[in-house]
Amino acid sequence: MAEIKLIHINEDVLDEQGKIDQKKIDLVARLGGDWYCRVTENNLFKVAKPLAKLGIGVDRLPYAVRYSKVLTGNDLGMLGNVELLPNEEEIDLVNQLAEVKEVLDATIGDATNRERELHELAKSMLKDGKVELALKVVLL
């Protein structure tokens, strides 16, 4: 344990609230073995933590979602962090969204492309922070 008595920090890396802005600081992550990674804004992602309960976990996602050719490990981590899987009625309501209807109409009779297109749509939703909506889309 250590008690921090003093810290020197370049104010250029702080946000409006005086907290470190992860997009401004030049970090290096230690990986396994001899591997490291420079952390840039392009490879940062945020996963909100549930306050009261654990997320469902990636292993509860359907096989086709877990082994998606579109969704990354980061995407799966966000999906697996939701507290509950949506029920069938909640999933069916997603069919009402214009962007979902467009994918479904464009891929009638083409299950492979439908799955890929729905995963692409969910990926864009994840990028916008719409995790629960993205989960419903991949569960269609």
pLDDT of residue 49: 65
pLDDT in tens, 102-111: 999 999 999 9
Query: Alpha-carbon distance 74 to 60, whole Å?
Result: 16
Structure-token pair, residue 118: 């729905």
pLDDT of residue 42: 85
Of 23, 116, 128, the closest CA to residue 78 belongs to: 128
Query: Alpha-carbon distance 22 to 12, whole Å?
Result: 12
pLDDT of residue 50: 58
Residue 79, by phi and psi: left (phi above 0), alpha (psi -120 to 50) or beta? alpha
pLDDT in tens, 49-96: 655 668 889 999 999 999 999 999 999 999 999 988 999 999 999 999
pLDDT in tens, 12-40: 999 999 999 988 888 899 999 999 999 88
